[in-house]
Chains A and B, each alone.
Chain A
């Protein structure tokens, strides 16, 4: 029994060490964001931001380049979220409410397309956008993002649509509502959580995306937030960097995402490997 208890304590200690390794980079970002550059430049690192300030954050927020990137990111992200929800909703409705010829090929195609790497397509997408005159256009980027997130969003929403029994709708139709009315009054409100979850998924993808944006948004003033952030790393290669400000910038980009992510993560991960183990 005694041996059992020591091994439990050892395992708990190990769990804490592992936790530390995974949380440390995130902690380090926050810690450095509050510290002035003079402190960060010293040879021994400062592990707790005593005497720190919000000065790094105000410097970042006052930077017009940040505000411009924030604006571009907001336009791209919100357009993607709205467009993806609308398109995916129709698609999800089709595959979970109807049996039609070509349905399973449609689902198969969606699942395969969802796996396609942006890195295997971006040269052609660049070429296409440039010949359409859509380089550096927030809406052009939003179209590419919507196409990238729609397959998985349909897959995610289909579960929610299937979860609302069609009998409920039929009963309402028997009571004299038209199909559209029955849908809008009965099914739609029940789908709200699913729509929110898909919206958050689309938000996270569009807000974080780097690869396609790098290729398509080439002009300095059409950068999204990730591109703007990357600009700091590029600059650090050649001159001294104010890491405090860079970390404040990273924090501003990361915090809304971490909050949103914690809200939806259960649903997203169960969509990826759900059903792999049957209890």
Chain B
């Protein structure tokens, strides 16, 4: 093989990837950027020309009250859910570290099985668990004395809808967080911890001054990933909406774009919301991607 063709080889090898990504992702991103600058509604779906409107669609994100509500609601949902997931996952990791081997094994297997559940299958079970007629949740609440839970439909009011949605997302996210943080904890040197204990540092002080600083890199990465993943949350919300709640009161960014696209056909606004999601995701991902790159070289 001549050195000339050998120089060309790496480019040939990346070619299939580049073609595929440009066609399936690059083109849609470009189309979205262009469409977000136009008025593109039902008329345009049927062939009317789409006029340029500059950044009007983006201005609407902030000025249109219903749109702005969805943006704020999504950000709040994302931040709260991600923080709760990381705190719960971190505590479970500490628990794994503290218990005997057999208990740790049970815990790990249960977390793995929950993590492995396909998202739609998991959502179907959750809808059944919180079902207002025969769900186990309401039965349990009545058993422990909350009589008002009998026949209560949690998905009907936006507040309880989001509490349930958030709890489900936490349930789904915690296995990954707990196992990652636990893996970080096992890297800590037992000598340091023992020395601190001999010096009289209690459990909480050891946690704060030794354990936390050392696992901080893992925690910051899982938190970042959770923020990114919880911002795009769609399947959970969509399926809970399907189970019988008012979509217009429970929309987050993903379901809102979906309704705009399939219902009113307002692709201009839908594209602007999508571009906002992409930009937020890339901004959040930057630090994570840099850390992966640094570790590679």
Contact = CB atoms under 8 A, between A and B. Distances in A.
B120 to A, nearest CB: 4
A72 interface: no
B80 interface: no
Interface in A226-279: 226, 229-230, 232-234, 236-238, 243, 246-247, 249-251, 253-254, 257-258, 261-262, 265, 269, 272-279
A262 B116 contact: yes
Contact of B29 (A110, A124, A155, A275): A124
Contacts of A226: 118-120
Interface in B234-256: 234-235, 238-239, 242-244, 253-254
Interface size class of B (residues with CB under 8 A): 35 or more
Interface in A119-163: 119-128, 143-144, 146-148, 150-151, 154-155
A97 B283 CA distance: 30
Given A124-B274, A207-B118, A210-B120, A233 B242 contact: yes
- Is the contact region of chain A dominated by helix, strand, or loop, or is it mixed? helix
A211 B235 contact: yes
Contacts of A144: 24
Interface in A1-30: 8, 11-12, 14-16, 18-23, 25-26, 28-29
Interface stretch (B49-57, B62-70, B194-202, B215-223): B215-223
Contacts of A45: 134, 136, 139
Contacts of B171: 21-22, 25
Contact of B175 (A22, A40, A98): A22
B103 A16 contact: yes
A254 B118 contact: yes
A168 B131 CA distance: 60
Contacts of B104: 15
B118 A103 contact: no
A119 B261 contact: no
Interface string B148-179: 00000000000000000000000100111001
A276 B217 contact: yes
B184 interface: yes
Contacts of A277: 183-184, 187, 214-215, 217-218
B139 A44 contact: yes
Contact of A119 (B103, B128, B254, B297): B254
A215 B187 CA distance: 44
Contacts of A107: 293, 296
Given A154-B17, A234-B242, A15 B296 contact: no
Interface stretch (A60-68, A88-96, A189-197): A88-96
A150 B20 contact: yes
A250 B292 contact: no
A11 to B, nearest CB: 5
A15 B99 contact: yes
Interface of A: 8, 11-12, 14-16, 18-23, 25-26, 28-29, 32, 40-41, 43-45, 86-88, 90-91, 93-95, 97-98, 100, 103-104, 106-108, 110-113, 115-128, 143-144, 146-148, 150-151, 154-155, 178-179, 207-208, 210-211, 214-215, 226, 229-230, 232-234, 236-238, 243, 246-247, 249-251, 253-254, 257-258, 261-262, 265, 269, 272-279
Counting from the closest, the 9 A-B pairs by CB-CB distance are: A147-B24, A124-B28, A117-B232, A261-B116, A94-B13, A120-B277, A237-B244, A98-B10, A119-B254
14 contacts: A16-B103, A25-B125, A86-B16, A94-B11, A111-B289, A123-B270, A128-B31, A144-B24, A147-B21, A237-B242, A261-B112, A274-B295, A276-B291, A277-B217
